[in-house]
Amino acid sequence: MAQEPESPAVLYIDLHLVHEVTSPQAFDGLRKRGLRVRRPDRTFGTLDHGIPTHDRSLPILDEMAARQIAIMENNAAENGVMLYGIKTGADKQGIVHVIGPELGLTQPGKTIVCGDSHTATHGAFGALGFGIGTSEVEMVLATQCLLQRKPKTCNVKVNGRLQNGVTAKDIILGIIAKYGVGGGTGYVFEYTGEAIRAMNMEERMTICNMSIEGGSRAGMIAPDDTTFEFLKGREFCPKGADWDKAVAHWRTLPTDDGATYDATFELDADTLEPMITYGTNPGMGMHITDRVPDPQGVGDLSQRRALEKALAYMGLQPNQPLLGHPVDVVFIGSCTNSRIGDLRQAAAMLKGKRVKDGVRVMVVPGSEPIKKQAEREGLDQIFKNAGAEWREAGCSMCIAMNGDQLSPGQYAVSTSNRNFEGRQGKGGRTFLASPLTAAASAITGVVTDARTMMK
Amino acid sequence: MNSKIVPLSAENVDTDQIIPARFLKVTDKLGLGKMLFSDWRYNDDGSPKPEFVINKPEMAGRQVLLAGDNFGCGSSREHAPWALTGWGIRAVISTSFADIFRNNSLKNGLLPVIVDKDTHEQLFSLCEEDPNTEVSVDLATQTLNLPDGRKVTFPIDAFSKTCLLNGVDEIGYVQGMREKIEAYEKAMAK
């Protein structure tokens, strides 16, 4: 929008999404300045991080979470901001990065921010979406603008086509394993290549979602007919002649042929296998058929120490396979993998089967509309019949703020995005993987290659 | 600023380690210093682990944290710089910082000091040889002064530097552009 010399650019924000955990201090700051939300029509709230995923008619037992939720409700009401929560908009409540696209708020070319690092998800639509801190949330509430410096660009090229049983989640885990958790620092990713073009929007969202795990604040995919098909008719999308005009504009957005990037990453989809993490950051990943790496083989001293520390936390030995490793909990959910396609894949695997005795399986849909859709398709019955828990929408065990969490020492196969120490509960140990791997492991009670169980 | 160093050699220290998510249910910014590095710092019964670096009595009052590469990766929680500054840290030295954490730090008077790999290794060696090694950080000249007299410059953009040195209110700065914002909104609505 504007740029003064020696200063960062002032970027106008088309869509600001807020949730209960990173916004209370920002609304406080706004009040102290005697201001209100400048553009409530461009600001949308949801309750997702701290909200319980049990029956919503039950009280919230955690007093601090209840207080934070009440404050969000109050802040939204006071400022005329639509809140998809418990008392208002409950039928469309869900994880912020799931409901944005679902409502058609997320559109190509928009600048989208949220006090949450997985805002990168919205880049799947050719939008510039990135996470911000609470001070920046306050700035956007107050001014609808943000100070930004132009990032470097990185072409993340995914060549070829995925094999059966290998998914979008495996692609992004593959990229992060290859280029590291800091590889994308300072860059915005653009995902290109045959494998990306062949994907539906849900798969593209899974990829863009985890850009931040590769160090990149934002990851984008050029909009195409797949994008427009997904958006057409959604609540906040243009209608009639305005829709045609919007699509015509959106078609001008993709990167020009022959454009140059500051860096290029490449991954071959043809030879990719299902991925799983063995360590305590998302870059510590491998093909599910591989063995845990040996710190002795790592030349760099600090990296060797990091691997030793990670394996000690995970209770794993160098060179051991993960296939067959016992699992206590399986979590299917999060802004990475909680959409209807993810639930369908997991349900197809679990249909007519039983969860292994002693394994807790939680299935947490990304939004209430996804929950309803799954119930119309009978997926909830498949999960329940198999012995899995079928929950209300929210972030749940991905961030373990709402009581859904691992106990110390437990192992989980999780479709979420972070395997940091304690992320899913203090002392809990996370293997990140796809919904297919999660569902297969739920049946056997050990880490399992889903391809061995597919017809 | 002169300070002895708190050395934390771990790489890729994520914001879940700096402050675990279960402490994010607060609704103010103060008081998070006691939760800093909570899961590394305390036993299950809440007693401090004596071997963890910030629990050592001599670390009290130190303002400079020396950490491994890619410090602050993971979530966008501004509670991470709030916890660090709440404990008393005013500058973090590393070879690189995650983008969102770096932004959040600059908005809270926490200075990310990026140094080259050799300087980084040298600093850790110095701390091993003499745990009371002292450095001085001078933002105005963008210099880190090492005990042997060596001066290492570090990068920071001019705008952030001015904001930090002069206490500029960034929101006030953007609010000053109200007319431009309104004109942009009008043009966009057409």
pLDDT digits (tens, 9 = 90+) for A122-167: 999 999 999 999 999 999 999 999 999 999 999 999 999 999 999 9
Q: Please give the residue range of the domain that contains residue B29.
A: 2-156
Element (H, E) at A99: helix A96-102
Same domain, residue pair B92 and B180:
no
Per-residue pLDDT, A230 = 98
Name the residue type at position B95: T
Task: Kindly state whether residues B61 and B84 are assigned to the same domain.
Answer: yes
CB–CB contact B11 A399 (8 Å):
no
Is residue B31 located within the same domain as residue B90?
yes
DSSP of chain B, one letter per residue?
A: -EEEEEEE--SS-BHHHHS-GGGTT-SSSTTGGGGTTHHHHB-TTS-B-TTSGGGSGGGTT--EEEE-SSBTBS---THHHHHHHHHT--EEEES-B-HHHHHHHHTTT-EEEE--HHHHHHHHHHHHH-TT-EEEEETTTTEEE-TTS-EEE----HHHHHHHHHT--HHHHHHTTHHHHHHHHHHHH-
Average pLDDT rounded to a whole number, residues B27-41:
96
Residues A144 and A156 placed together within one structural domain of the fold: no
| Domain match, B95 and B161 both | no
- Amino acid in the structure at residue A406: L
| A241 contact partners, CB below 8 Å, separation of at least 6 | none
Same domain, B149 and B178: no
Average pLDDT over residues B99-106: 97
Chains A and B form CB pairs within 8 A to the count of 168
Contact B71, B96 (CB under 8 A): yes
Question: CA A453, A418, A396 angle in degrees (round to 5)?
Answer: 85
Mutate to test the interface with B, among A1, A31, A72, A217 (most CBs of B within 10 A): A1
Q: So what's the pLDDT on residue B189?
A: 87
Whether the predicted pLDDT of B62 surpasses 90: yes
Can you give the pLDDT at residue A372? Answer: 98
State whether A449 and A354 are in the same domain: yes
What is the C-alpha separation between B53 and B164, in angstroms, rounded? 28
Question: In this structure, what token pair is assigned to residue A265?
Answer: 């990453």
Asked if A65 and A204 sit in the same domain, the reply is no
Q: Mark whether B32 and B112 lie in a shared domain.
A: yes
8 Å CB contact of B98 and A142: no
Nearest CB to B159: which of A6, A400, A408?
A6
Statement to judge: residues B143 and B162 lie in one domain: no
Question: What is the span of the domain harbouring residue A177?
Answer: 152-268
CB–CB contact A181 B22 (8 Å): no
ipTM exceeds 0.95: yes
Pick the range with the lowest mean pLDDT from A1-5, B52-56, B137-141. A1-5
User: Looking at residue A288, which CATH number applies to its domain?
Assistant: 3.30.499.10
A169 and A26 in a single domain? The answer is no
Same domain flag for A124 and A194: no
Question: Are B170 and B138 found together in one domain?
Answer: no
Share of chain A above pLDDT 70, in %: 100
Tokens 């915005």 sit at which residue? A188
Backbone angles phi, psi at A136, to 5 degrees: -70, -35
Q: Are residues A231 and A335 in the same domain?
A: no
pLDDT single digits (tens) A326-356: 999 999 999 999 999 999 999 999 999 999 9
Q: Do A217 and B99 touch (CB under 8 A)?
A: yes
Could you tell me the maximum CA-CA distance found in chain B, to the nearest angstrom?
67
What per-residue confidence (pLDDT) applies to A302? 87
B101 and B30: one domain?
yes
For the cut 80, the answer to whether the pLDDT of residue A455 exceeds it is no
- pLDDT tens readout for residues A424-451: 999 999 999 999 999 999 999 999 999 9
Taking contacts as CB-CB distances below 8 angstroms, the residues of chain A near B78 are 22, 25, 115, 133-135
CA distances from B37 to A315, A431, A445, B42, B140 (A): 21, 23, 33, 8, 30
Choosing from A245, A268, A291, the residue where a domain stops is A268
The yes-or-no verdict on residue B97 having pLDDT over 90 is yes
Question: To which H or E segment does residue A158 belong?
Answer: strand A152-159
Angle between helices A63-79 and A24-32 (to 10 degrees): 50
DSSP letter for each residue of A262-319: SEEEEEESTT---EEE-SSSTTSEEETTSBPPPGGG--SHHHHHHHHHHHHHHT--TT
CB-CB contact of B10 with A306 (8 Å): yes
Contacts of A42 in chain B (CB under 8 A): none
Same domain, B149 and B166: no
Is B21 within 8 Å of A62 when comparing Cβ atoms?
no
Residues B94 and B182 in one domain: no
Contact: A68, B25; criterion CB under 8 Å: yes
A425-434 burial by CB neighbour count: b if 16+ within 10 A, else e?
Answer: bbebbbbbbb
Considering its fold, how many domains does chain B have in total?
A: 2
- Same domain flag for A253 and A350: no
B46 in the same domain as B93: yes
Tell me the pLDDT of chain B averaged across its residues.
96
The answer to whether the Cβ–Cβ distance between A181 and B12 falls below 8 Å is yes
Structural domain count, chain A:
3
Q: Do residue A128 and residue A229 come from a single domain?
A: no
Q: Which residues of A touch B185 (CB under 8 A)?
A: 12, 144
Tell me what pLDDT residue A335 has.
98
Backbone angles phi, psi at A167, to 5 degrees: -125, 180
Pair (A419, A390) in one structural domain: yes
Q: Are A138 and B112 within 8 A, CB to CB?
A: no
Question: Which of residues B132 and A1 earns the better pLDDT score?
Answer: B132
Q: How far apart are CA B18 and CA B41, in angstroms?
A: 10
Q: How confident is the model at residue A5 (pLDDT cuts 50, 70, 90)?
A: confident
Question: The domain spanning residue A167 has which CATH number?
Answer: 3.40.1060.10
pLDDT at A88: 97
